[in-house]
Amino acid sequence: MTYDPAAVAAYFDDLSEGEWTRFEQTLGDRVSLARHTGVLERFIASGSRVLDVGAGPGRFTEVLHRLGCRVVVADISREQLELNRRGAATRGYAASVESWHQLDICDLSVFGDGSFDAVVAFGGPLSYVFDERDRALAECLRVLRGGGLLCLSVMSLWGSMHRFLPGVLDLPLDANLAIVSTGDLTPSVDPASRHHCHVFRSDELRSFLDRPDLELLELSASSAVATGHDASLCADPARWQALVEFEERACRDPGLLDAGTHLLAVVRRA
Ligand SMILES: C[S@@+](CC[C@H](N)C(=O)[O-])C[C@H]1O[C@@H](n2cnc3c(N)ncnc32)[C@H](O)[C@@H]1O
């Protein structure tokens, strides 16, 4: 599948505020938010200069602000960038944002080599660029200083199928088998949808990140045991706390890496 940047930008322009609510639906989505946030809390040091690329409306820009980072925000969608800018004012993270840029993760040429301590690419920018993913990864690594960290998440094949099973079963079997074999959700396999992306298997992501210029520090699922369950299951704080404990273990278990909607990875630039 050939990457179509205009279609991606148009999709997220039209999605508008809908992007914010994706972490608030099922229990697994809430776990995913907690686990993405936890990665930033564990790996990103206060005072870091961070590029939040594919930042969307700013969930993680806000977390980076709370962690005491200086943040540069970037997104291909003008509307998502505008939501991020508005969120900065209404949710109080503007003081930490150096600048906002409408750009493509495949071309970070406005930033110099080694200019960031960390790059955050959460929610799948690397899933949207299809055949340009090597270029996108190379750009993320180029703008990192030596020893800098890239925190990323991409859409997961089996976990997304689990989470969105009713919609999956609405598609003809041939279309689903094509998605399983290529990992590509394209206009030809799902003509009714405008959400086109590549969904990864954990082995595939591991191979993609297997490069001499980086070290894979962590690979996990965004949720495992909670994927697909209803949020009401954990209204009680003690049950939620127990679930978070289980998920910390389950999401790293090799047998469950593919169980979440996303695969989460942290890599260090050599
Ligand atoms: C699913 S949202 C994730 C937003 C946010 N990072 C989060 O995790 O909540 C994906 C975001 O990536 C942006 N995006 C997709 N492809 C991109 C690309 N090639 N370059 C930059 N941003 C991109 C979209 O516009 C959208 O705002």
Q: Where are the domains of the chain?
A: 5-157+197-269
Pairing type for strands 144-155 and 97-102 reads unpaired
Ligand 1-lining residues (CB < 6 angstroms): 8, 12, 19, 53-56, 59-60, 75-77, 80, 104-105, 122-125, 128-129
* 13, 24, 33, 128, best to mutate for ligand 1 pocket (most atoms within 8 Å of CB): 128
| Mean pLDDT computed over 132-150 | 98
Query: Which residue, by CA, sits nearest to atom 12 of ligand 1?
Result: 54
> What is the per-residue pLDDT for 268?
98
pLDDT level of residue 19 (50, 70, 90 thresholds): confident
> What is the per-residue pLDDT for 228?
86
Ligand 1: centre distance to CA 123 (Å):
6
Query: Which residue, by CA, sits nearest to atom 13 of ligand 1?
Result: 54
Ligand 1: centre distance to CA 120 (Å):
11
Do residues 64 and 71 lie in contact, with contact meaning Cβ atoms separated by under 8 Å? yes
> What is the per-residue pLDDT for 28?
96
User: Exposed, middle or buried: residue 91 (CB in 10 Å: 0-12, 13-18, 19+)?
Assistant: middle
Q: What is the pTM of this model?
A: 0.97
Element (H, E) at 149: strand 144-155
Report the atom number in ligand 1 closest to the C-alpha of 52: 6
Q: Is the pLDDT of residue 39 over 90?
A: yes
Q: Is the pLDDT of residue 20 over 90?
A: no
Dist. CA 65–CA 52, nearest whole Å: 11
Q: Is the pLDDT of residue 173 over 90?
A: yes
Ligand 1: centre distance to CA 238 (Å):
33
> What is the per-residue pLDDT for 18?
80
Report the atom number in ligand 1 closest to the C-alpha of 3: 19
Query: Which residue, by CA, sits nearest to atom 1 of ligand 1?
Result: 123
Tokens of 242: 């127990």
Report the atom number in ligand 1 closest to the C-alpha of 11: 25
Do residues 197 and 133 lie in contact, with contact meaning Cβ atoms separated by under 8 Å? no
Query: Which residue, by CA, sits nearest to atom 3 of ligand 1?
Result: 123
| Mean pLDDT computed over 55-81 | 98
pLDDT 10s digits, 189-214: 988 888 999 999 999 999 999 999 99
* Closest listed residue to residue 215, CA positions, set 224, 206, 223, 202: 206
CATH class, domain 5-157+197-269, is alpha beta
Ligand 1: centre distance to CA 125 (Å):
5
Ligand 1: centre distance to CA 47 (Å):
24
Percent of the chain with pLDDT over 90: 93
pLDDT level of residue 17 (50, 70, 90 thresholds): confident
200, β-bridge pairs: 156
Alpha-carbon separation of residue 177 from 121, 126, 181, 184, 189 (angstroms) = 28, 22, 6, 11, 10
Supply the mean pLDDT for the chain.
96
Ligand 1: centre distance to CA 121 (Å):
8
